[in-house]
Amino acid sequence: MAEYISKIQEISKKILQDGKVDIVIGFSDGSLPMASRPCFIKSPEDTGKLIFDGNCGINLANYLTGKKEKIGIIAKGCDSRNIAQLIVENKIKREQLFIIGVPCFKMIDKRKTSLLFEEEITQVTESDDKIIVKGKNKEKTFNREDMLQENCITCMHRNPVIYDELAGELIKESDQKAEYEDVKKIEAMSSEDRWNHFSEMLSACVRCYACRDACPLCYCPTCFVDESSPQWVGKSADNQIDVKTFHILRAFHCAGRCTDCGACEKACPMGIKVRKFTRKLNSDAMRHYEWEAGLTTDKRPLLDNFRVNDYQDFIK
């Protein structure tokens, strides 16, 4: 990990010095254990602030939309896929970017760790396969792989798909196929059970929209929930139909575009498993079209692409 950091800092310094980019977007140290803070660096002297560890699960592609300057950006596998997605969707130009690719060693789930540790965590140290968690009264060592974010567990694309320079050696990707067991479980429910399952899951939602705001795909200038004429969705927190409408429609807007980076779920202050919706759509995209989002900048997004050999004929 230390090598990653020094390499990230070194590359960032060089591209800033050489004037290849105006800013570098990366992570800086957080004020709490298991936290990092997205930041931008303008001056080569400040590149020492850049860090990288298992707590950098926020998707930095989210900070690119609409930017005009030349940007260096730290990109894990999922970040890079979202960058590719943004390039295809004309939200940023490839020429504007210097992508510092970081083959990802998978991110740690802060909630899972806190839940298992049961008291306030004051310090966390990471090694390749362990994390050592300290509190005021105790210390515990966990296997790193038991503490991973759920999206990282099933991740098939840890290596950046596009990059200009790498901050570490490429990793051998998992050769397992994406099984979507979690999705299948929900698909197997009766529609009534499924409705209840989602109702219960979303009942905690406070409509802070952190899931949307952390998502690099959600760049609409006015989100459909905020639209007032016509007003598609009511604004009250009491009306659970409106809450569901938001989550389900948002997921549909991400169909064929979502890279399962997990930022939505990580951002939710209420711990709602919002990925259940996007995972279903990812699974459908895979099942029907063998499609995974953001793997290349050469193809149009799944749903703005029609082929005459489409397996369904409703559109013909």
Q: Which residue ranges make up the site for other proteins (CB under 8 A)?
A: 30-32, 35-40, 58, 62-63, 111, 114-115, 118, 120, 122, 206-210, 212-214, 222, 226, 228-229, 231, 234-239, 263, 266-271
The answer to whether the beta carbons of residues 66 and 91 sit under 8 Å apart is yes
Our CB check for other proteins shows the closer of 137 and 191 to be: 137
Helix (H) or strand (E) holding 15: helix 2-17
Give the number of other Cβ atoms within 10 Å of residue 33's Cβ.
18
The answer to whether the beta carbons of residues 280 and 273 sit under 8 Å apart is no
Six-digit token pair at 235?
A: 């604004």
Our CB check for other proteins shows the closer of 180 and 277 to be: 277
What's the min distance (Å) between Cβ of 296 and other proteins? 27
* Gyration radius from the chain CA atoms: 20
Our CB check for other proteins shows the closer of 117 and 163 to be: 117
Our CB check for other proteins shows the closer of 170 and 270 to be: 270
Our CB check for other proteins shows the closer of 63 and 142 to be: 63
What's the min distance (Å) between Cβ of 208 and other proteins? 4
What's the min distance (Å) between Cβ of 104 and other proteins? 19
Residue 203 CA neighbour count, 13 Å, CB half: 6
Helix (H) or strand (E) holding 133: strand 130-135
Contacts of 37 (CB under 8 A, 6+ apart): 27, 28, 29, 30, 31
What's the min distance (Å) between Cβ of 68 and other proteins? 13
